């Protein structure tokens, strides 16, 4: 019996360590939970980043659409300017044809009828006051317009206004410089020439035409308010002129 107990105790001594080492292992799930939470927090910023990229993409698309609209508007304005330039050129051609048919001349009030002044009628104060040299130089320049040699006409009128500073026909010379520059779509020098007629020669019969043409140029230059003011001025100050009638037509058609 003692031997049996002793054997059991010995066996127990052997079993006890085994039972201790064989105890069930309890896992620490908190570490896994923290790991999963970390992974989740890593995913959320990624999702937020995708949302930011999506919003940026929408903003870019909206900006592209706005730019396309601006491009279309600029294209429309450019086309309008081309149309205005062509209209002015055709008007100049019409005037030249009228001058050639009537033996030469210039429109006093902007219409298609040549004034008697440049047909040799001395009732026009400017022509009557001009001496023979002035008239010859002016007619030589104008004949180049009639011949449709616009480059030569431009050079001739530049020379005329430079070499005849006191000529009563100088306002007419500046007016034709405005017409010729306008036909070449050189808008700034054309505007300067018409402005010279208006400001330096307020008594000239070319002022109504110059106001009207400057109003058209301002429209071509993208300055609708300035254009409207000039065209209204023609109607108010020269209501009986052909230029006033044409200014009214342009205002109605353009919607200024």
DSSP string, 142-163: HHHHHTT-HHHHHHHHHHHHHH
pLDDT digits (tens, 9 = 90+) for 94-149: 554 454 444 444 433 333 333 333 443 333 566 666 788 888 999 999 999 888 89
3-state SS, residue 135 = helix
Q: What's the confidence (pLDDT) of residue 53? A: 82
Q: Can you give the pTM of this predicted structure?
A: 0.56
Alpha helices in 108-223 (DSSP H): 125-129, 132-146, 150-163, 170-183, 187-200, 207-220
Percentage of the chain lying above the pLDDT 70 cut: 59
**Tokens encoding 136:** 């010859």
pLDDT digits (tens, 9 = 90+) for 59-88: 888 888 778 777 866 766 666 666 665 565
**Average pLDDT, whole number, for the chain?**
73
Q: What's the confidence (pLDDT) of residue 186? A: 93
Residues 197, 38: Cα–Cα separation, whole Å: 82
Residue 207: pLDDT over 90: yes
Q: What's the confidence (pLDDT) of residue 106? A: 41
**Tokens encoding 181:** 């520059």
Residues 119, 17: Cα–Cα separation, whole Å: 137
Q: pLDDT grade, residue 44 (50/70/90)?
A: low
Q: What's the confidence (pLDDT) of residue 67? A: 80
Alpha carbon of residue 5 to chain centroid: 114
Q: Which is nearest to 217 in space by CA: 227, 209, 207, 203? A: 227
Q: What's the confidence (pLDDT) of residue 28? A: 53
pLDDT digits (tens, 9 = 90+) for 21-37: 444 554 555 555 555 55
Residues 78, 146: Cα–Cα separation, whole Å: 30
What are the structural domains of the chain? Answer: 81-254 (1.25.40.10)
């Amino acid at each position: 019996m003692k031997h049996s107990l002793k054997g059991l105790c010995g066996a127990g001594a052997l079993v006890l360590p085994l039972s201790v080492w064989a105890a069930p292992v309890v896992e620490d799930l908190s570490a896994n939970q923290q790991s999963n939470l970390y992974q989740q927090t890593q995913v959320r910023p990624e999702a937020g980043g995708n949302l930011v990229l999506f919003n940026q993409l929408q903003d870019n698309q909206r900006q592209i659409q706005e730019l396309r609209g601006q491009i279309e508007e600029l294209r429309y304005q450019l086309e309008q300017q081309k149309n205005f330039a062509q209209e002015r050129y055709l008007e100049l051609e019409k005037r030249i044809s009228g001058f050639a048919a009537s033996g030469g001349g210039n429109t006093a009030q902007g219409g298609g009828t040549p004034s008697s002044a440049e047909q040799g009628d001395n009732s026009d104060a400017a022509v009557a006051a001009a001496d023979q040299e002035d008239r010859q130089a002016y007619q030589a320049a104008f004949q180049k317009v009639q011949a449709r040699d616009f480059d030569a006409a431009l050079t001739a009128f530049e020379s005329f206004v430079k070499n005849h500073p006191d000529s009563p026909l100088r306002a007419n010379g500046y007016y034709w410089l405005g017409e010729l520059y306008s036909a070449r779509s050189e808008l700034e020098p054309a505007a300067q020439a018409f402005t010279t007629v208006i400001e330096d020669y307020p008594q000239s019969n070319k002022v109504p035409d110059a106001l009207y043409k400057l109003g058209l140029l301002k429209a071509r230059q993208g300055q609708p308010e300035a254009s409207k003011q000039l065209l209204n001025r023609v109607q108010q100050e020269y209501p009986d002129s052909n230029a006033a009638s044409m200014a009214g037509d342009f205002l109605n058609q353009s919607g200024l």
